[in-house]
Amino acid sequence: MSVKKLLAGVASLTLTTGAFLGVSAPAFADDSSLVSNPVATQTIADVPATQGGEPAPSVEPASPQPKPDPEEQVPAASEVLAELAPAQPAPSVKPAPVNAAVTEAAPESSAADPEELASEPADAEPEAAPEFAARSVQPESQSRPQDNKKVWVCKFVASENSPSGYRLKLGKQPIHVSKNALGNDVNTTGDFNDRQPSFVVAEDDSSLCSRTVVTVDEEVVCPSDDGAGVVNITTSTTLFYGTKVVKSSQTTSTRHLTEKELVECEPPPVEVYVCQFVPSKSHPSGWVLAPGTQPVLMWDDALEGVVNATGDFDPETPSFIVASDDSALCASKTVERSTAIACPAGDDEGFATTTIVRSFFYGSIKVKERTVEKVRELTEDERADCPEVGGDVIATAAVSFVDATCAAPQELVLGSLVNAVWGAVTDPEGADNYSVTATAINGAHFPEMVDGALIAEPITTLTFSGVLNPQLDAGDPECEVVMPRLVLPVVSFTQATCDVDASYTLGAADGYDHTLVTFTVNGEPGILSGTYTVKESGSVAVTADPVEPNELEADWSDPAAFEFVAITTEDCVLPSAVTAQLPTLPTLAYTGGGGSSAGWWLVPLSMIVLGGAAVIVRRRMDADAL
């Protein structure tokens, strides 16, 4: 029994599989035989030809439309028109009464302005009958010119509660009124007055009639030992009629300080440069600079009683604040040299006197001066400049100036002399604040040119005077106190790739100002922040340099020199070039029909034969059993 079932199963399986494989045989794109069957997805439809021989265009069948409900069917347009059309012709329209024509020709406003009605002349002729009125009344626009037909008027009325005795009339203001209908209470000056309070304005702007201006002033009183601090508020309210003030009032109030105002009252401390001095018995001023580097940084909230308020040296409180880290602002020295030349005269061979004046300053205050004179023989050049013996002896003198600075006023410098000597520098009366005179010696005189020629009268004295500029004000931009700031530089290097050039980037870390630092690259200083491309192989060394007076963060250290390696064309191979070198492989595509070889048919044929044999054996077994 089991053998029969086995044969039955084999027969069923093989026959079914064989039939399936025989009907659908695979085909491959590389088969040598051509596929003769049409494409499975191609649709061939019989289309009737048109009269010209070309096939007629195909028309897709329209989708069936739902049948409308008889009750909802829309009537035809002709039926609607028939219902709307009048059954009989409309009666003719009679002309409107004549007084209706007057209404159409009335001014643009549909409602009569009460001010305009009130201002009409009192002796206007009354209407006798509608027909007569219709014939006699003409629109104003026809009887008067259109120019300045109406004006804008700010209308004021009497009021017992107003300080001025008048108030702006309720309703829209200004109003548009016929110019010919202006009353005696309206002036054309464009402003309010007590006799004619109403006035004409240029345009429809209510603020030209009346406006209220409110100003609020606040005075911040910072906390002190006397109180916790407060803000005094003064509110001023001013009422204008036109441009005239008719009422003003003030109110005062107070409020607590805000957090921002408290901070502004007590700003955070900042560091400033201070020149410190210590007592000295040997120095003429009684003070010398404190040992160590000067000036020094100190917090400004700890300077009370330590520095003076003048910003300069003061023997009572010598220490003072300076603008920057420059020791010359604390103590400085000037050296003035002048040479007086006495040219040869008679038996005198002549000589030169050199005067050296050394001045010492604390800030801009001169605290010490030392003068040294040296007499020497004339040099060959100096002798050549002197006139021949027996001729006129010429004297010369000149002065120069040192510009004013934040630490010192403009300075007068006495120049070299020839056959002359300098007198004392004085402060004369009047506008000038300096005067100095050079006096000729050895029978010399100063030449004075008039129109290019020497004048006859010899001059033996020459005076220089004028005004020296004062020390620059502390508020001058050149004297602005620049506080040092810290900056953390950032330097990065990027090696070249096939797609990106090599580069290095200079800058500052997040939260720092990159303008406070420059860089020295391979010995070239002053390189600004940015990204710079490197085209060739080589080493790049970078050093960060803070912009004065700023400083670098303590943990910063300059990076080691970076070695860049250039990329050649041989190092980079394009992917397309690699793809072009690969062998082309055939592509097999299963199409599902046609083009198969004859060997393929042996598979379904053999399975069909095997299934048929199984059926025959099964039947014989059944026959033997009977």
For 188-218, b/e burial (b = at least 16 CB within 10 A) is eeebbeeebbbbbbeeeeeebbbeeeeeeee
C-beta separation of 18 from 605 below 8 A: yes
Higher pLDDT, 191 or 237: 237
Q: State the burial class of residue 259 (Cβ atoms within 10 Å of its Cβ: 0-12, 13-18, 19+).
A: exposed
Q: Is 224 helix (H, G, I), strand (E, B) or coil?
A: strand
Residue matched to tokens 């206007």: 124
What would the pLDDT profile of 13-70 be if each residue is shown by its tens digit?
777 776 666 655 555 444 444 444 444 444 444 444 444 444 444 444 444 444 444 4
Cα distance between the two ends of the chain:
14
On whether the pTM is more than 0.85, the answer is: no
Q: In the β-sheet with 461-466, what is the strand arrangement from edge to edge?
A: 420-422, 434-440, 461-466
What would the pLDDT profile of 383-407 be if each residue is shown by its tens digit?
887 776 556 677 888 888 988 888 7
| Domain layout of the chain by residue ranges | 2-26+601-625, 115-208, 273-477, 484-571
Residue type, 192: F
φ and ψ of 352, to 5 deg: -125, 135
Structure tokens at 246: 């008719």
User: Residue 114: what pLDDT?
Assistant: 39
Q: State the burial class of residue 233 (Cβ atoms within 10 Å of its Cβ: 0-12, 13-18, 19+).
A: middle
Helices (H) and strands (E) in the chain, counts: 10, 34
Dihedral angle of Cα 120, 125, 129, 132, to the nearest 10 degrees: -100
Residue matched to tokens 């491309």: 533
How many Cβ atoms sit within 10 Å of the Cβ of residue 475? 7
What is the DSSP code (8-state) at residue 469? P
Residue type, 354: T
Residue type, 626: L
For residue 194, what pLDDT band results from cuts at 50, 70 and 90? confident
Q: What is the distance between the alpha carbons of residues 420 and 462, in angstroms, rounded to a whole number? A: 9
Mean pLDDT, residues 230-253: 92
Query: Measuring CA to CA, how many Å separate 606 from each of 17, 378, 602?
Result: 11, 139, 6
Q: Which of 170, 174, 172 is nearest to 154 (CA)?
A: 174
What would the pLDDT profile of 554-597 be if each residue is shown by its tens digit?
889 999 999 998 887 777 766 555 555 555 555 555 554 454 55
Q: What is the 3-state secondary structure (H, E, C) of 353-368?
A: EEEEEEEEEECCEEEE
Percent of the chain exceeding pLDDT 90 equals 24
**Which range has the top average pLDDT, 71-75, 330-334, 594-598?**
330-334
Structure tokens at 557: 């250290």
Give one word for 609, left, alpha or beta, with left for phi > 0 and alpha for psi -120 to 50.
Answer: alpha
Question: Does residue 97 surpass a pLDDT of 60?
Answer: no
Q: Which of 172, 190, 201 is nearest to 109 (CA)?
A: 172
What would the pLDDT profile of 283-296 be if each residue is shown by its tens digit?
888 999 999 999 99
What would the pLDDT profile of 344-377 be if each residue is shown by its tens digit?
776 777 888 888 888 999 998 999 898 998 888 8
User: Residue 124: what pLDDT?
Assistant: 40
Least confident of 66-70, 198-202, 312-316: 66-70
User: Residue 44: what pLDDT?
Assistant: 41
Percent of the chain exceeding pLDDT 70 equals 69
Mean pLDDT, residues 134-139: 42
Structure tokens at 231: 């803000």
**Which range has the top average pLDDT, 136-150, 441-455, 518-532, 612-626?**
518-532
